[in-house]
């Protein structure tokens, strides 16, 4: 007769993360389904909100920046002519995916504290499952974007094949930051507030409702404009969102120099998040 015993030493092993998650894939899928059901429970329109949210946000921002401040924004590259609302939606759906995922991952352990205290399973499953619901919303929003692009006279081309590559970079970045923030938020509840403030700042510091070309033009007027541009590009979402637009709007392969830094950030974030989370996993229940 063999007995399965709890071992903190076993839980600390970083190399077991992938194996533990693979063995608990059923639980991971159950958490995703539970989150999807809870998200739209007691709503009349249900999943229609996954379409309405980015669409209404697009209309609001289009009115503010495309009508009130008309002439102050333009397409993705000099000489390119894309409807502003198409450019806006292209950045908005991928930013919202990043923002919602990181916010939900950060608070996931606190929201599921009863489960963490009562059952033993790889704790990483909880913040990673928090990505599932926003991923479904992203898929719906992406279909909406393609339809609006077709109605506007545009059409995706062969460069569309780059989208999974860019998305993989973004997902790895989210996973790393999500694991890191989720574990730290258990010990320091300030982390949740810091993430909220950081995401608000990131929305304006990322090319969501404007293009990278706009930033390049404006910093060129400043002394040491190259330094300012380099500082701006330290935000990995700047390169990721611009790469999406190059692929989906310009039908061109992304500038790989824009993705080099996001790839490094994603790798470092995943390594840091996995190490910190796994080291703290055995005692998380004591602080919840």
Residues 100-122 pLDDT 10s = 999 999 998 888 887 777 777 77
Instruction: Report H helices in the chain.
Output: 8-12, 17-23, 25-39, 48-61, 84-111, 113-118, 125-129, 132-151, 163-187, 190-205, 212-219, 225-232, 236-248, 256-280, 284-287
- Which residues are CB-neighbours of 212 under 8 A, at least 6 positions away? 76, 238, 242
Q: How confident is the model over 242-268, as a mean pLDDT?
A: 94
- Rounded CA separation 255/153 (Å): 25
**For the purposes of burial, counting CB atoms within 10 Å of the CB of 178, is it exposed (0-12), middle (13-18) or buried (19 or more)?**
buried
Q: Hey, which of 29-38, 47-56, 62-71, 176-185 has the most confident mean pLDDT?
A: 176-185
Q: How confident is the model over 49-78, as a mean pLDDT?
A: 62
Quote the pLDDT of residue 77: 47
Eight-state DSSP code of residue 65: I
pLDDT of 242 strictly over 80? yes
| Backbone φ, ψ for residue 10 (5° rounding) | -65, -40
- Rounded CA separation 171/166 (Å): 9
Q: How confident is the model over 153-157, as a mean pLDDT?
A: 81
* Percent of the chain whose predicted confidence (pLDDT) is above 90: 37
Q: How confident is the model over 68-82, as a mean pLDDT?
A: 51
* Percent of the chain whose predicted confidence (pLDDT) is above 70: 78
Predicted structure pTM score: 0.84
Quote the pLDDT of residue 107: 92
Mean pLDDT of the chain: 81
Quote the pLDDT of residue 231: 92
């Amino acid at each position: 007769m063999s007995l399965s015993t709890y071992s903190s030493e076993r839980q600390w092993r970083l190399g077991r993360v992938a194996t533990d998650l693979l063995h608990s894939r059923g639980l991971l899928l159950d958490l995703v389904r539970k989150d999807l059901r809870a998200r739209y429970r007691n709503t009349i329109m249900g999943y229609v909100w996954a379409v309405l949210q980015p669409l209404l946000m697009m209309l609001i921002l289009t009115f503010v920046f495309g009508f009130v401040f008309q002439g102050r924004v333009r397409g993705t590259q000099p000489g390119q002519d894309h409807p502003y609302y198409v450019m806006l939606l292209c950045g908005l759906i991928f930013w919202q995916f990043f923002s919602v995922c990181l916010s939900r991952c950060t608070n996931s352990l606190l929201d599921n504290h009863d489960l963490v205290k009562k059952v033993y399973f790889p704790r990483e499953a909880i913040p990673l499952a928090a990505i599932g619901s926003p991923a479904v919303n992203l898929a719906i929003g992406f279909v909406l974007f393609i339809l609006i692009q077709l109605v506007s006279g545009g059409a995706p081309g062969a460069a569309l094949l780059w989208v999974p590559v860019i998305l993989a970079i973004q997902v790895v970045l989210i996973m790393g930051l999500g694991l890191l923030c989720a574990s730290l938020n258990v010990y320091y509840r300030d982390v949740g507030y810091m993430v909220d403030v950081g995401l608000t700042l990131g929305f304006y510091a990322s090319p969501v409702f404007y293009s990278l070309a706009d930033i390049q033009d404006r910093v060129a007027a400043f002394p040491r404009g190259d330094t300012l541009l380099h500082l701006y590009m330290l935000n990995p979402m700047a390169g990721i969102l611009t790469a999406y637009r190059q692929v989906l709007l310009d039908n061109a392969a992304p500038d790989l120099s824009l993705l080099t830094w996001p790839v490094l950030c994603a790798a470092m974030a995943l390594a840091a998040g996995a190490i910190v989370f796994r080291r703290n996993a055995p005692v998380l229940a004591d602080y919840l």
